[in-house]
Amino acid sequence: MARTFSLTAVMAVVAASTAATLTACSAIGSSDEPSSGGNGTVTLVTHDSFGLSDGLLDSFTEKTGLTVKVVQPGDAGTLVNQLVLTKSAPLGDLVYGIDNSFASRAIDEGVVQSYVSKVPAAKDAAQYAVDGSDALTAIDDGDVCINVDHAWFTAHQLAEPVTLEDLTKPEYKDLTVVPNAVTSSPGLAFLLATIGAFGEDGYLQYWNDLKANGLQVADGWTDAYETDFSGGGGGGPRPIVLSYSSSPPFTVPEGGTEPTTGALLDTCFRQVEYAGVLTGAANPTGAEKLLDFLLSDDVQADIPDSMYMYPVSSAAELPAEWASWAPLATDPFEVPPADIATNRADWLKQWSATVIG
Amino acid sequence: MTLHMEDVVVRYGAATAVDHVSLAVQTGEVVALLGPSGCGKSSLLRAVAGLEPLVGGSVSWDGSSLAGVPVHRRGFGLLFQDGQLFAHRSVSGNVGYGLPRGASVDALLELVGLAGFGDRSVTTLSGGERQRVALARALAPQPRLLLLDEPLSALDRTLRERLAVDLRAALVSTETTALFVTHDHDEAFAVADRVGVMSGGRLLQVAAPAELWRSPVSREVASFLGYEAFVPVGAAAAAPLREALGSRSVADATIALAEGAFVVGRAGAAKGTVTGVASRRGRSEVRVEVDGIGAVTALGPVGGRWAQGDVVELGVEPDALAVLPL
Amino acid sequence: MTTTLARPTTTAPAAPSGRARVVAFWTLAVAVPLAFLAVFFVWPVTVMVGKGFVVDGHLDLSGFADVFTQARTWRIIGLTIAQASLGTAISVLLGVPGAYVLYRHAFRGRGVLRALVTVPFVLPTVVVGVAFRSLLVDGGPLGFLHLDGTLAAIVSALVFFNYAVVVRAVGGLWERLDPRAEQAARALGASPWKAFRTVTLPQLAPAIASAASLTFLFCATAFGTVLILGGLQFGTIETEIWIQTTQFLDLRAAAVLSVVQLVVVAGVLVVAGRARSRRERALDLSEPALAVRVLSWRRPPGMPPGDGHALSLVAAGVTGVVVLLIATPLVNLVVRSLQTPRGWGLDNYTALGTTGGSLTVTVWQAALNSLRIALDATTIALVVGGLVALVVSRRPRRASARRAVTGLDALFMLPLGVSAVTVGFGFLLSMHHPFGLPVDLRTSPLLVPIAQAVVAVPLVVRTVLPVLRAIDPRLREVSATLGASPFRVLRTVDLSLSLRALGLAIGFAFAASLGEFGATSFLARPDRPTLPVVIFRLIGRPGPENYGMALAASVVLAVLTTLIVATCERLRTTGSGGDW
Cα–Cα distance for residue pair B44/B37, rounded to 1 Å? 13
Partner-chain residue, chosen from B51, B69, B124, that has the shortest CB–CB distance to C183: B51
Encode pLDDT of C24-56 as tens digits.
888 888 899 999 999 999 999 999 898 888 877
- Amino acid identity of B14? A
Give the three-state DSSP class for A95. Answer: strand
Which residues of B fall within a CB distance of 8 Å from C303?
A: 53
> What is the reported pLDDT for B31?
95
Let me know whether A28 and A83 are in one domain: yes
Measure CB to CB from residue B71 to each of C1, C186, C283 and give the nearest one: C186
Residues A216 and A341 in one domain: yes
The pLDDT-based confidence of C543 (bands split at 50, 70, 90) is confident
Q: Residues B95, B105: contact at Cβ < 8 Å?
A: yes
Cβ pair A236:C247 closer than 8 A: no
Residue C40 is classified by DSSP as I
**A153 and A241 together in one domain:** yes
Q: Would the CB atoms of C302 and B54 count as touching at under 8 Å?
A: yes
Q: Are residues A59 and A27 in the same domain?
A: yes
- Reported as half-sphere exposure (CB side, CA atoms, 13 A), residue C310 has a value of 8
- Residue in A2, A49, A91 nearest the CB of C540: A49
Nearest to C509 by CA among C393, C379, C417: C379
> Residue type for C290, please?
L
State the greatest distance between any 2 C-alpha atoms of chain C, in Å, as a whole number: 80
Residue A251 in this model has a pLDDT that exceeds 70: yes
Q: How many Cα neighbours within 13 Å face the side chain of C299? A: 17
pLDDT digits (tens, 9 = 90+) for B240-287: 888 888 877 777 889 999 988 888 877 777 888 999 888 877 778 889
Q: Tell me: pLDDT of A213 over 80.
A: yes
Cα–Cα distances in angstroms (integers) from residue C395 to residues C7, C120, C282, C391, C470, in the given order: 7, 36, 14, 9, 12
The 10 Å Cβ neighbour count of residue A221 is 25
Rounded (10°) angle between helices B127-139 and B157-173: 20
Q: How far is CA C377 from CA A21, C372, C415, in A?
A: 10, 9, 15
- Name the residue with higher pLDDT: C81 or C284: C81
Q: Could you tell me if A100 and A340 are in contact, meaning their C-beta atoms sit under 8 angstroms apart? A: yes
- Average pLDDT of C521-533? 73
Inter-chain CB proximity C281 and B86 less than 8 Å:
no
**φ and ψ at residue A261, rounded to 5 degrees:** -130, 165
Neighbours of chain A (3+ CB pairs under 8 A): C
Do residues B262 and B296 make contact, with C-beta atoms less than 8 angstroms apart? yes
Nearest CA in chain A to C548: A233
Query: Measured in whole angstroms, how far is the alpha carbon of residue C385 from the centre of its chain?
Result: 13
Name the more confident of A137 and B312: A137
3-state helix, strand, coil in chain C (%, to 5): 75, 5, 25
Identify whether A135 is part of a domain: yes
| Partners of residue A352 in chain C, C-beta under 8 Å | 232
Judged by CB atoms closer than 8 Å, whether chains meet at C188 and B87 is answered as no
Q: Is residue A82, in this structure, part of any structural domain at all? A: yes
Q: Which of C180, C190, C202 sits opposite B80 (nearest CB)?
A: C180
Same domain, A335 and A315: no
Residue A208 falls within a domain, yes or no?
Answer: yes
The C-alpha atoms of residue B249 and residue A269 are separated, in whole angstroms, by 118
pLDDT higher than threshold 70 for residue A7: no
CB C227 within 8 A of CB A218: no
pLDDT confidence of residue A37: 42
C445 — phi, psi (to 5°)?
-65, -15
What are the backbone angles phi and psi of residue A45, rounded to the nearest 5°?
A: -100, 125
State whether residue B275 is helix, strand or coil. strand
DSSP C442: G
Instruction: Say whether pLDDT at A95 is over 50.
Output: yes
Interface test with B, best of C2, C188, C200, C296 (most B CBs within 10 A): C188
Backbone angles phi, psi at A140, to 5 degrees: -150, 170
Query: Does A2 map to a domain?
Result: no
Same structural domain, A200 and A295: no
Inter-chain residue contact B55 with C302, CB threshold 8 Å: yes
- Measured in residues, chain B has a length of 326
Q: Which residues pair with C451 in a beta bridge?
A: none
Task: Print the domain residue range for A213.
Answer: 143-269+329-356
The pLDDT assigned to C497 comes to 67
Name the average pLDDT for chain C. 81
| Mean pLDDT of the B148-171 span | 85
Q: Which chains touch C (3 or more CB pairs under 8 A)?
A: A, B
CA distance C103 to C172: 7
Is a pLDDT exceeding 90 seen at residue C274? no
* pTM reported for the whole predicted model: 0.82
Q: Which of C2, C177, C186, C276 to mutate to test the interface with B (most CBs of B within 10 A)?
A: C186
> Minimal CA–CA distance to C560: which of C351, C319, C366?
C366
Asked whether residue A215 is domain-assigned, the answer is yes
pLDDT at C569 over 70: no
pLDDT of A75:
75
Per residue in B110-135, pLDDT tens? 888 888 898 998 888 888 898 899 98
B contacts of C281 (beta carbons < 8 Å) = 87-88, 123
pLDDT digits (tens, 9 = 90+) for A17-71: 444 444 445 555 444 444 444 458 999 999 878 888 888 989 999 999 999 988 8
Query: DSSP letter string over C297-336?
Result: SSPPTTPPTTSSHHHHHHHHHHHHHHHHHHHHHHHHHHHH
The answer to whether chain B touches chain A by having 3 or more C-beta pairs less than 8 angstroms apart is no
Question: Minimal Cα–Cα distance from B7 to chain C, Å?
Answer: 14
Instruction: Kindly report the CATH number assigned to the domain that includes residue A249.
Output: 3.40.190.10
Contacts of A323 (CB under 8 A, 6+ apart): none
The predicted-structure confidence for A264-303, as pLDDT tens digits, reads as follows: 999 999 999 999 999 999 999 999 999 999 999 999 999 9
Q: Cα separation of B170 and A291, whole Å? A: 95
A11/A137 same-domain check: yes
CB atoms within 10 A of CB C303: 20
Amino acid found at B309: G
Picking from A349, A203, A186, the residue whose alpha carbon sits closest to that of residue C235 is: A349
Pick from C1, C202, C303: which is nearest to B53 by CB? C303
Residue A86 CB contacts under 8 Å (≥ 6 apart), including other chains: C428, C429, C432, C442
Residue of C181, C192, C302 with shortest CB distance to B53: C302
How much of chain C exceeds pLDDT 90, in percent?
13
Judging contacts by C-beta atoms under 8 Å, the chain C residues touching residue A29 are: 376
C and B interact (at least 3 Cβ pairs within 8 A): yes
How far apart CA C7 and CA B79 sit, in angstroms, is 37
CA gap C185, B51 in Å, rounded: 12
Chain B residues with beta carbon closer than 8 angstroms to that of C194: 72
Q: Are A13 and C506 inside 8 Å of each other by CB? A: yes
Q: Are strands A240-244 and A137-149 parallel, antiparallel or unpaired?
A: antiparallel
pLDDT for position C246: 82
Count the domains in chain A: 2
Residue C204 has pLDDT above 80, yes or no: yes
Beta-carbon contacts of B40 under 8 Å, excluding residues fewer than 6 positions away, are B10, B17, B18, B19, B21, B198, B200, B201, B202
Q: How far apart are CA C396 and CA C310, in angstroms?
A: 46
Supply the pLDDT for residue C574. 42
Give the residue among B98, B104, B139, B131 at the shortest CA–CA distance from B118: B104
User: Rounded to whole angstroms, how far apart are CA atoms A4 and A11?
Assistant: 10
Among B63, B5, B9, B42, which Cα is nearest to B147's?
B42
Half-sphere exposure in the Cβ direction for B238 (13 Å, CA): 22
Report how far apart the first and last C-alpha atoms of chain B are (Å, whole number).
Answer: 37
- Identify whether residues A312 and A247 lie together within a single domain: no
Q: Do B87 and C283 touch (CB under 8 A)?
A: yes
Q: What percent of chain A has pLDDT over 70?
A: 89
Distance CA C566, CA C168 (A): 12
Rounded CA-CA distance A319/A302 in Å is: 9
Give yes or no: residues A193 and A342 share one domain.
yes
Asked whether residue A347 falls in the same domain as residue A240, the answer is yes
Q: Which residues of C touch B74 (CB under 8 A)?
A: 187
Residue A29: the pLDDT is: 45
What lies within 8 Å, CB to CB, of A55 at 6+ separation is none
In this structure, are residues B59 and B47 in contact, taking their beta carbons and an 8 Å threshold? Answer: yes
Summarised one tens digit per residue, pLDDT across range B80-104 is: 888 888 888 889 999 999 888 888 8
How confident is the model over C517-542, as a mean pLDDT? Answer: 75
Which phi and psi angles does C302 have, rounded to 5°?
90, -10
Cα distance between residue C438 and residue A45, in whole Å: 21
Residue C421 has pLDDT above 70, yes or no: yes
CA distance A161 to C498: 67
Distance CA(C531)–CA(C80), nearest Å, equals 29
Residues A180 and A98 in one domain: no
A315 and A239 in a single domain? The answer is no
* DSSP H or E stretch at residue C390: helix C363-393
Q: In this predicted structure, what is the pLDDT of residue A257?
A: 85
User: What count of residues does chain A have?
Assistant: 357
Q: How far is B2 from chain C (nearest CA, A)?
A: 18
pLDDT tens sequence across C74-114: 888 999 999 999 999 999 999 999 999 998 888 888 888 88
Q: Where are the domains of chain C?
A: 66-235+279-299+309-336
* A346 within a domain of the structure (yes/no): yes
In total, the C-beta contacts within 8 angstroms joining chain A to chain C are 228
Say which range, B70-79, B312-321, C353-362, has the weakest mean pLDDT: C353-362
Fold of C66-235+279-299+309-336: MetI-like fold (1.10.3720)
- Residue numbers in B near C188 (CB within 8 A): 72, 77-78, 97-98, 137-138, 140-141
Q: Are A72 and A21 in contact (CB under 8 A)?
A: no
Q: From the CB of residue C175, how many other CB atoms can be counted at a distance below 10 Å?
A: 23
